[in-house]
Chains A and B, each alone.
Chain A
Amino acid sequence: MSQQEIEVILSRHLAEYLAMPIFIVNPDGDLIFYNEPAEAILGTRYSETGAMPAREWATTFHPVDQEGKPIPPEDLPLVIAITKRHPAHKIFWIRGKDGAMREIEVTAVPLIGQADRFLGGIAIFWERPRE
């Protein structure tokens, strides 16, 4: 059986202890973990969805910009972080699995391990206060 890389295991461990919503993907962009605060925003639980292919998570939450225009997967911060391997930041709206629309602010970074191993990416996001 394959095992996650140690930096990814430690990232998940850290995410489980932090109160900020965190999303972790592998080098292919597949979602491999999100923590409890992220569950609250996404409106679903990791234990229910499990891992999710990139094409699924990039569309399943229906990301749209401030004008309500759909954001293509390649313009999402986490996709940018793993494809271009640099940090990315964006404010947009998603529809959670619970049906609620939420405005979120996302910062994503590629995850680079020891010996320059590319291990995927991490997104930290906040729900923006409603005005």
Chain B
Amino acid sequence: MKVTFWGTRGSLASPSPETVRYGGNTSCISVEGSEGTVIVLDAGTGIRYLGQSLPADLKRVDILLTHLHMDHIQGLPFFLPLRRQGVEIHIWGPASTTLSLNARLQKYLSPPLFPVSVRELSADLHFHELPGHLIEIGEFSIHAQLIIHPNPTIGFRLQCEHAAVTYLPDHEPALSGWTFPHDKEWISGYALAEGSDMLIHDTQYTEAEYQTRIGFGHSSFQHAFQFAKLTDVKHFVPFHHDPTHSDDELDRMFKETVTELNPTYEVTPSREGLSLEVEC
């Protein structure tokens, strides 16, 4: 499968001369399978570029939303296939006890926050609420499980025949308490990430920043690297870069963390435009 990063920034789109290498767009990744299945992970501002790159005759796209914070849905109405008739678009996201997924998305996709409402979109839209049973989309089997982040948030594990990619963009496993990073049974996200060929995981804060943001739902570099080690992943892709971290700062922070922790797994910090292949 081909994993392409269209937006790697967390919290807020942050275009500036200091963020051109890692990118300023918020969370969006595409995963393309060998049989042509296209899965989109989150609909941050990066999804606009993805929409432009997809073939006009594409018949189906599945968008998996981890949660409905703005940095994960803001790009949705700018996703070109939503404006095309005949395209089947399935939107998967966390369930709520009060409102349907469709109704919650309409809070954003309706005036006065946005001029176009969901019902004005041309595509054939389907909404699915998670977590539920195992999802089968094309050549992928997908596990969806709640993880620690404010407001119900889903983590995804995409499995093809011989490989798995886990996506936990907003995740604070250290909030599991003293059990982190030791007692696997009690650590958020463990079952999803265990033994993954690729783990895409939140690395929003430095250690010093984390100390003043405990409970915000994000990980420090140290915690994310510890989680990758604990879950025995082969390839770790740090993601959801803090909007205040410049390219040079991110370079330095990744270098320092890798030098200090000397991970046994491969590490590739995510950046806009990066494409990685995972052998299925």
Contacts and interface: CB of A to CB of B under 8 A. Distances in A.
Contact of B188 (A1, A9, A113): A9
A4 interface: yes
Interface range for A: 10 to 19
A39 interface: no
B185 A16 contact: no
A1 B191 contact: yes
B186 A9 contact: yes
Interface in B166-187: 175-178, 184-187
Interface stretch (B55-63, B127-135, B263-271): B127-135
Interface in B183-198: 184-191, 194
Contacts of B194: 1
Contacts of B184: 1, 3
B12 interface: no
A7 B146 contact: yes
Contacts of B132: 115
A66 interface: no
A39 B269 CA distance: 45
Contact of A13 (B96, B97, B175): B175
Given A4-B186, A115-B132, A10 B94 contact: no
B152 interface: yes
Interface in B65-112: 94-97
Contacts of B94: 114
16 contacts: A1-B184, A1-B190, A1-B194, A2-B185, A3-B186, A3-B189, A3-B191, A6-B145, A6-B188, A9-B187, A13-B176, A114-B131, A114-B146, A114-B152, A115-B130, A115-B132
Interface of A: 1-7, 9-10, 12-13, 16, 113-117
